[in-house]
Amino acid sequence: MTFEYLKALHIIFVVTWFAGLFYIVRLFIYQTEAMERPESEGKILKPQLDLMASRLWYIITWPSAVLTLIFGTLVLTYRMEFLQLPFMHAKLGFVFLLYCYHGWCHKLFKELQAGRTRWTSTQLRIWNEASTLLLFAIVFLIVLKSTLSMVWGLAGLITLGVTLMLAIRLYKKFRNK
């Protein structure tokens, strides 16, 4: 029974972590666009967006990332045999990339809070899709429990990535009209 509770808590915190990751990059986009606005608008928008980003990052996203790691580790202690399976190695590799993504988002967060940006809103829109690709990879691996299926999954991820890039380009064209 303990295993099921730990697994449920792990899944809940994965969901809240991804919600935070998806929304924080949207806020990065809005912060970047606010800095491109006339000064009178930027002075109103930027502080509010900074506050929203700070609350999301420190109250939801970071705690969820930490709790995901804690409960995921506890789940693995109950199912140590999973560590011998190739699909779990691949899954943990993608999870590692997700924590790298989180770390990079933290760097972007700090820069934007300081009023600096190196990325355009379009680049941030593309960056936002990286977490989507990681989510797909992780979920398919854990549900299918097969690295053989990973070949099809990778083909699907590449197709999804190309589709997302095309959608971003179309959105940009539509938005600029």
Q: Which residues are annotated as a binding site for heme?
A: 10, 91
Q: Which residues contact 86 (CB under 8 A, 6 or more apart)?
A: 147
**Binding-site annotation: residue ranges:** 10, 91
First vs last Cα of the chain: how many Å apart? 57
Total residue length of the chain:
177
